[in-house]
Amino acid sequence: MIQAAIFDMDGLLVDSEPYWREVEIDVFRTVGLEMDDEMCKRTTGLPTDAVVRYWYEKHPWHNRSIEDVGAEIIQGAYDQIGKHAGPMPGVPEILDLFRQRGIPMAIASASPMHLIEAVIDRLNIQSYFTLWHSATLEKRNKPHPDVYLGTARKLGVEPTVCVAFEDSGNGLKSAHAADMLTVAVPADYEFDDPKFNIATLKISSITQFNQQKLTELETQLSISTTIR
């Protein structure tokens, strides 16, 4: 049976993406790059340093270092999300579902640890999780599998008996590469993007995940284990 549920954070547990976009637009303006929401969506799910490099390669600037721009984006997001962000729909219910089943839960995020902890405090969900882990503490960030493998290792379970929940394509690649069962929860604007086809299950909202869906995943896990 499934022995752990591992959740991405931004855009999955917390409605943080609007704040990330707002901060990115403001900070990139300081280097002469005028952004909008649609441009920001191109890099959703990427680590902040990768986002900054992406835009630097397309629109180079010379008045600030890449590191300085990235640090200001992270600090701005920390401030805005920590003060204003709320949970995504269905979050309390899905956490209660896994708690009732006695399945340990963890967070595996591309965000730095201080932002993860700010979100956990903001949503008051500390008691649900056995641990939380940041990909910034691993050698490679998402889309590489390191953060999911590291989280499974810290939980003391094999990756193959974990289910990972992700809202972004890069995050999904990370969990899939770790050989976990995956539940993709894409945003409306990219729900039909083929990059989500690798998911074990795709839903439009966490509110759609229930006991029946969990049973279906465990059945699929049982079948794949038997085949192996």
User: pLDDT, tens digit, for every residue of 67-88?
Assistant: 999 999 999 999 999 889 999 9
Concerning whether 10 is annotated as a catalytic residue, the answer is: yes
Give the per-residue SS3 of 118-170. HHHHHHCCHHHCCEEEEHHHCCCCCCCCHHHHHHHHHHCCCHHHEEEEECCHH
Domain 17-84 sits in CATH at 1.10.150.240
Concerning whether 8 is annotated as a catalytic residue, the answer is: yes
Higher pLDDT, residue 39 or 223 = 39
Q: What's residue 227's pLDDT?
A: 64
Distant-in-sequence, close-in-space partners of 227: CB < 8 Å, separation ≥ 6: none
Kindly tell me the sign of the dihedral angle through the C-alpha atoms of 37, 40, 42, 47.
negative
Q: Is the pLDDT of residue 179 over 90?
A: yes
Pick the CATH number of 4-15+86-227 from 3.40.50.1000, 3.40.50.11810, 3.10.129.10, 1.10.3720.10: 3.40.50.1000
Instruction: Find the catalytic residue in 8, 49, 146, 167.
Output: 8
Rounded to whole angstroms, the Cα distance separating 95 from 186 reads 19
In terms of DSSP bridges, do strands 131-134 and 201-202 run parallel, antiparallel, or are they unpaired?
A: unpaired
What residue ranges in the chain does DSSP mark as E strands?
Answer: 4-7, 105-109, 131-134, 162-166, 181-184, 201-202
Q: Is the pLDDT of residue 193 over 70?
A: yes
In whole numbers, what is the pLDDT of the chain averaged over residues?
95
Q: Using 50, 70 and 90 to split pLDDT, how confident is the model at 176?
A: very high
Contact assessment for residue 37 and residue 144, using Cβ atoms and an 8 Å cutoff: no
Which amino acid is present at 123?
L
Q: Using 50, 70 and 90 to split pLDDT, how confident is the model at 154?
A: very high
| Secondary structure class of 15 (helix, strand, coil) | coil
Q: Which two tokens stand for residue 228?
A: 């192996």
Rounded to whole angstroms, the Cα distance separating 87 from 122 reads 9
Q: What's residue 163's pLDDT?
A: 98
Contact assessment for residue 195 and residue 35, using Cβ atoms and an 8 Å cutoff: no
How much of the chain, in percent, has pLDDT values that exceed 90? Answer: 93
Q: Using 50, 70 and 90 to split pLDDT, how confident is the model at 228?
A: low
Choose among 69, 81, 88: nearest CA to 27.
69
Q: Using 50, 70 and 90 to split pLDDT, how confident is the model at 224?
A: confident
Rounded to whole angstroms, the Cα distance separating 48 from 15 reads 17
DSSP annotation of 200: S
State the pTM of this model.
0.89
* Domain map (residue ranges) of the chain: 4-15+86-227, 17-84
